[in-house]
């Protein structure tokens, strides 16, 4: 990050994540700070801004720094706040948590969110961490044979958790903190995205795969794809490419949804947790397709 006012970025791991301090997001965000935040996000893929305690208007203002706010299908937003999802889990809720497996948000859409913003409000006394994995660092370290297999190839994404084919019964949602509109057959339609993207700002390449929504690689059957996708996913989620974030109230996280996968840890049953999530749009994965050649790799920084 370039020096502006007292804003500083501190890397949190070797491959992903930085903490940004010295900026008050409750005040209006200057253009120079906005540009720095965007640069930091492109460079670190997920950024954490502690002690912000933003209200919803301030969160929307921050979100607009990165791109136009998105209204997403399937997940019911807040009343009168169509751009904000109240990510709430009550102390009495059992079973899975929202986002409790590795995924990129809504990757099955033609234009998925470019990024997401999560605002920590109420936290359990322990647990409830979120992990992110860098699909850029994972690409850099991927064996040549797998890079050759993926460059120029599409992957098939399907919104199966939101569609009719795999949707859980509505009764399983009773009492849930997050409501979803199920039974939308369009969520079961296949969407092709390039398996490898290239960030237009940094030039850096990244995988664009995740086990929640990707069903197969184009040109291969699900059975043929499964062992390859499993192997790649184990690689992406190696600890070296991940960051695990223990939340504090008032912390804001912003992540590049096309360069990362994330995972909400389900280990705080009996306690409530409340976050507010916004998402923003940008280029489509198709617009960011990496060219099918072996151009020199771009260093992380």
Task: Count Cβ atoms within 10 A of the Cβ of residue 45 and give its class: 0-12 exposed, 13-18 middle, 19 or more buried.
Answer: buried
234 belongs to the catalytic site: no
Site string for Fe ion, 102-131 (x = CB under 5 A): ---x--------------------------
103 flagged as catalytic = yes
Q: If binding is defined by CB under 5 A, does position 99 make contact with Fe ion? A: yes
Question: What residue is closest to Fe ion based on CB?
Answer: 99
Buried b / exposed e over 18-39, threshold 16 CB at 10 Å, is bbbeebebeeebeeebeebbbe
**From the candidates 204, 205, 245, 262, which is the catalytic residue?**
262
**Of 105 and 256, which CB lies nearer to Fe ion in the complex structure?**
105
* Least distance between Fe ion and beta carbon 301 (Å): 26
| Residue in 58, 115, 131, 85 with CA at minimum distance from that of residue 277 | 85
Strand partners, 252: 49, 119
Task: Based on the residue annotation, tell me whether 182 is a catalytic residue of this protein.
Answer: no
- If the CB atoms of residues 105 and 140 are measured against Fe ion, the closer one turns out to be 105
CB of residue 262 to Fe ion, shortest distance in Å: 6
> Which DSSP symbol is given to 70?
-
Q: Is 285 in the site for Fe ion (CB under 5 A)?
A: no
Q: Annotated catalytic, 277?
A: yes
Virtual torsion, Cα 12, 67, 25, 50, nearest 10 deg: -20
- Decide if 191 contacts 110 (C-beta within 8 A): yes
Tell me which of 33, 105, 154, 256 is the catalytic residue: 105
Q: Catalytic amino acids?
A: 103, 105, 262, 277
Site residues for Fe ion per CB under 5 A? 99, 105
């Amino acid at each position: 990050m370039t020096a502006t006012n007292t804003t500083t970025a501190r890397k949190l791991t070797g491959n992903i994540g930085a903490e940004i301090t010295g900026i008050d997001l409750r005040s209006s965000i200057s253009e120079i700070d906005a540009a720095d935040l965007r640069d930091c996000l492109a460079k670190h893929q997920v950024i954490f801004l502690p002690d912000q305690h933003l209200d919803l208007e301030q969160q929307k203002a921050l979100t607009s720094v990165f791109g136009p706010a998105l209204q997403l299908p399937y997940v019911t937003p807040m009343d009168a706040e169509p751009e904000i999802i109240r990510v709430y889990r009550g102390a009495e809720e059992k079973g899975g948590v929202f986002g409790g497996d590795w995924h990129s948000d809504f990757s099955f859409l033609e234009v998925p969110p470019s990024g997401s913003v999560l605002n920590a409000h109420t936290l359990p006394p322990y647990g409830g961490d979120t992990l992110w994995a860098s699909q850029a660092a994972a690409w850099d370290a991927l064996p040549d044979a797998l890079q050759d297999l993926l460059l120029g190839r599409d992957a098939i994404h399907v919104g199966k958790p939101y569609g009719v084919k795999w949707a859980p019964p509505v009764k399983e949602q009773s009492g849930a903190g997050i409501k979803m509109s199920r039974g939308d057959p369009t969520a079961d339609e296949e969407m092709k995205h390039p398996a490898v993207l290239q960030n237009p700002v940094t030039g850096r390449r990244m995988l664009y795969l995740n086990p929640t929504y990707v069903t197969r690689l184009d040109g291969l059957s699900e059975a043929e794809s499964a062992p390859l996708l499993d192997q790649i996913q184990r690689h992406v989620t190696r600890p070296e490419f991940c960051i695990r974030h223990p939340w504090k109230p008032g912390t804001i996280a912003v992540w590049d949804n096309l360069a990362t996968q994330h995972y909400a840890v389900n280990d705080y049953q009996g306690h409530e947790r409340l976050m507010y999530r916004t998402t923003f749009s940008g280029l489509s994965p198709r617009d960011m397709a990496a060219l099918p050649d072996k151009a020199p790799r771009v260093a992380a920084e």
